Amino acid sequence: LAKTTQPISMDSYEGQEVNITCSHNNIATNDYITWYQQFPSQGPRFIIQGYKTKVTNEVASLFIPADRKSSTLSLPRVSLSDTAVYYCLVGDPPQAGTALIFGKGTTLSVSS
């Protein structure tokens, strides 16, 4: 998996849009970009995945520029319940025997 760099922490207020950027300069041609969310004392949960341009689902949007060396997870109008750690993972959809390797992640704190 490609090495990723993301901010250690971010603070926001309810109702604001939050953008978390992940750098992955060594991304390979076959690599996808995937974001997971982890609440305290819970396992990670898949949020969104993309390869290029923009992907949107009911939870978030993922923006990927043409060079794919970075990506931005966008959370619209966050609420207190969005307080969590967000992990950016980059890699080729691996074979069944390959584990996901997590970096440090970004701790998002949402206040009222």
Among 20, 24, 31, 44, binds other proteins (CB under 8 A): 44
Residue 103 to residue 44: CA distance in whole angstroms: 13
Report yes or no: 87 and 103 within 8 Å, Cβ to Cβ. yes
Residue 65 binds other proteins, judged by CB under 8 A: no
CB of 30 to other proteins, least distance (A): 12
Nearer to other proteins, 18 or 87 (CB): 87
> In this chain, which stretch among 14-22, 34-42, 61-69, 73-81 interacts with other proteins, using CB under 8 A?
34-42
Report yes or no: 1 and 98 within 8 Å, Cβ to Cβ. no
Among 3, 45, 69, 77, binds other proteins (CB under 8 A): 45
Residue 24 to residue 18: CA distance in whole angstroms: 20
Among 58, 67, 81, 101, binds other proteins (CB under 8 A): 101
Residue 102 is which amino acid? F
Residue 101 to residue 106: CA distance in whole angstroms: 15
Among 29, 41, 81, 111, binds other proteins (CB under 8 A): 41
Residue 15 to residue 105: CA distance in whole angstroms: 22
Q: Which residues bind other proteins (CB under 8 A)?
A: 32, 34, 41-46, 49, 87, 89, 91, 93-94, 96-97, 99-105
